[in-house]
Amino acid sequence: MKTIQKKEVENLQGFILSIVGIAVCLAVGLIVLGQLRTQVGNGVANVDGVNSTAWNSTGSILSQMSSIPNWVGILITVALAFIVLGYFYSR
């Protein structure tokens, strides 16, 4: 039975670290945008549609950013499949 080489472990660590970094940035971004949207909704009276435009804009960005975790899951699955296939191919 073949043992895992140091290079393979380093590659796996880099992959895991990049996924964790993406998840942290995404979580912080979604939290900040959610708080911004709440503050816009609680803000001053609607002057020339500025408040509703900001509300709609942050809502649009939030909905687009909320679809990113679906793609991250797919990327993790594909990357892990390549790692497993690479391990068995090198045997």
Secondary structure string (H, E, C) spanning 20-38: HHHHHHHHHHHHHHHHHHH
Q: Where are the alpha helices (DSSP H) in 1-91?
A: 6-41, 50-65, 68-89
Enclosing domain of residue 49: 6-89
Token pair recorded at residue 81: 């499949």
Structure confidence by residue, pLDDT tens digits, 21-51: 888 888 888 888 888 877 777 665 555 555 6
Span 57-82, mean pLDDT? 82
* Banded pLDDT at 56 (limits 50, 70, 90): confident
Any domain includes 83: yes
Any domain includes 1: no
pLDDT in the model for residue 15? 80
Structure confidence by residue, pLDDT tens digits, 74-87: 888 888 888 778 77
| Count of structural domains, the chain | 1
pLDDT in the model for residue 19? 84
Any domain includes 24: yes
Percentage of the chain surpassing pLDDT 70? 76
